Amino acid sequence: MPSFVRVATAASVPDPGRELVEVDEQLIVLLHVGGEFFALDDVCTHDGGPLSEGAIDDHTIACPRHGAKFDIRTGAALTMPATHPTRSHEVKVDNGEVFVRINDE
């Protein structure tokens, strides 16, 4: 199982906000919403759009290419044209540092 990788300090990411990070050579968008952190693949499942450049609205993020919305908490695809979830990853905050563990299932 992959291990947790430190990606940011909690104070460095605005709420709401995001930061593009690299974990185990994969691009991950770290999201800070409502006092919690979440992590998704930086890949829209419609056609590979960069979710890290999308607009955040409450717990959704919209792909900048064609507007598909995803649930920040789960990666679930909420609107067309995306029909498949993007991967979500485990996040923990320890002593002001944010760590992500890749979900390799």
Using CB under 6 A as the criterion, which residues of the chain lie in contact with ligand FES when the complex forms? 44, 46-49, 63, 65-68, 81-82
User: Would you say 16 or 50 has its CB closer to ligand FES?
Assistant: 50
CA–CA dist 81, 89 (Å, integer): 23
Closest approach of ligand FES to the CB of residue 89, in Å: 19
Closest approach of ligand FES to the CB of residue 49, in Å: 3
Closest approach of ligand FES to the CB of residue 63, in Å: 3
Collapse the DSSP code of 52 into the 3-class scheme (helix H, G, I; strand E, B; otherwise coil) and give the result: helix
Collapse the DSSP code of 11 into the 3-class scheme (helix H, G, I; strand E, B; otherwise coil) and give the result: helix
User: Would you say 33 or 82 has its CB closer to ligand FES?
Assistant: 82
Query: With DSSP H G I counted as helix, E B as strand and the rest as coil, what are the percentages for the chain, rounded to 5?
Result: 5, 45, 50
User: Would you say 7 or 62 has its CB closer to ligand FES?
Assistant: 62
Residue type, 96: G
Using the 8-state DSSP alphabet, how is residue 59 labeled? T
User: Would you say 49 or 75 has its CB closer to ligand FES?
Assistant: 49
Closest approach of ligand FES to the CB of residue 77, in Å: 9
CA–CA dist 87, 89 (Å, integer): 7
